[in-house]
Amino acid sequence: MVKQSVTWLNGQLLPTEQATVPVNDHGLLYGDGVFEGIRFYKRRAFRLQRHLQRLQLSARAIALAIPLSTEELNAVIERLIEAFADDDGYIRLMVTRGAGPLGLNPNSCSQPNVIAIADQLTMIAIAEQQAGARLIVSSVRRLPADGLDPRIKSLNYLNHILAKIEANHAGADEAILLNAQGRVAEGTADNIFLVRDGRLLTPPCSEGALEGITRELVLKLAQDNGIETREQPLGVYDLYAADECFLTGTGAELIPVASIDCRSLPGCPGPVFQRLQQAFRRIIDQECGVVL
C-alpha cells in the first residue's frame, strides 16, 4: 500500500512526486480545465455521484470532452482510495485541456489529461477550527457571472488566491469575497452561512456563490431539523450583525467563525452550527460507515 500522496494519471497509479504532465498542457499555461474536490471517509467516497455530475457540467460548459465515462471515473476513484494509506482523505480530480502549442486556441489540444490526487487536506488548522476562524472581507471581488459563471469549477482560481493572500497579510484564516455589487458571494474556497434570530441565511448562487455540494446538503439538513432557511442577498452589515457564522465546503467541511474584520460574533460555535455539524456527521456515518 502506498504510504504517501498518490496520483492516478491517465491510467497509471504513481507516488505524486513521480506524476508529471507536459509543460505545454493548457491547464498549466492558461488554467484551461475543470476539477472537483472529493472527500472519502472509511474508504468510501462521499457524495461521489453528485461530484462527478458537477464535473461533467463544468466540462460541458467549457466545451471540454472528458475522455472517461462516469463508470470509469468511479473505478479510478475506488482504485485511488484503495491505494491510499489512510481510511479518510481528500481527492482532487482534474481534467485539463491537454498539451498543445502556445496560444489560447484549444483546437490543437487533442488529448485531455485526467489526473486524480489522493492526499490529506486541512483548510484551516485544527486549533483555529476549534477556536473559530477569523475572517476578513476582502477587497478582491468575485468574478461576475457574465465574465465567468461561478458554477464552473475551473482550474483558474487567481482572484480567490489574491483574496487568500490578503487574508494571510491581515493575519486572518479566511477571506470573504463580495460580488461586483458589494454583496456577499463566498469565501476563497467555501460557501458562507449566517444565523440571525434563529434563521439560517446564505447568499443565493446568483450572487456569485459556487453551487456547493456541502452547501446543498447543509440547507437540506437544516430543513430536516426544523431550522428556517433563507437564500437571500446579504451585505457586509449582515456579516457584522450575525449571531453565528460558519463556512462549508468539501475541503472545509463545516468550520465555525469567531470574528469578521475583528468583530467578534456572539456564538462560536453557536447552537445552530452545532446541530448542523452533528447532523452532518450522522450523514457521513450513514453513507460511508461500515455496514455490519
* Residue carrying the nine cell digits 502506498: 2
Beta partners for residue 90, in sequence order: 39, 119
- The H or E element spanning position 260 is strand 253-260
* Residue carrying the nine cell digits 498542457: 25
Q: Which of 3, 153, 164, 220 is catalytic?
A: 153
User: What letter does residue 154 receive in the DSSP assignment?
Assistant: B
Region of 80 (left: φ > 0; alpha: ψ -120 to 50; beta: rest) is: alpha
Locate 259 and state its grid cell.
470574528
User: What letter does residue 94 receive in the DSSP assignment?
Assistant: E
Distance from C-alpha of 262 to C-alpha of 250, rounded to nearest angstrom: 26
Region of 259 (left: φ > 0; alpha: ψ -120 to 50; beta: rest) is: beta
Region of 171 (left: φ > 0; alpha: ψ -120 to 50; beta: rest) is: left
6-9/113-119 β-pairing: antiparallel
**Distance between start and end Cα atoms, the chain:** 25
Beta partners for residue 133, in sequence order: 257
Told to judge if 220 belongs to the known catalytic residues of this protein, a careful annotator would answer no
Which of 208, 233, 200 shows the shortest CA–CA distance to 140?
208
**Residues acting as catalytic residues:** 153
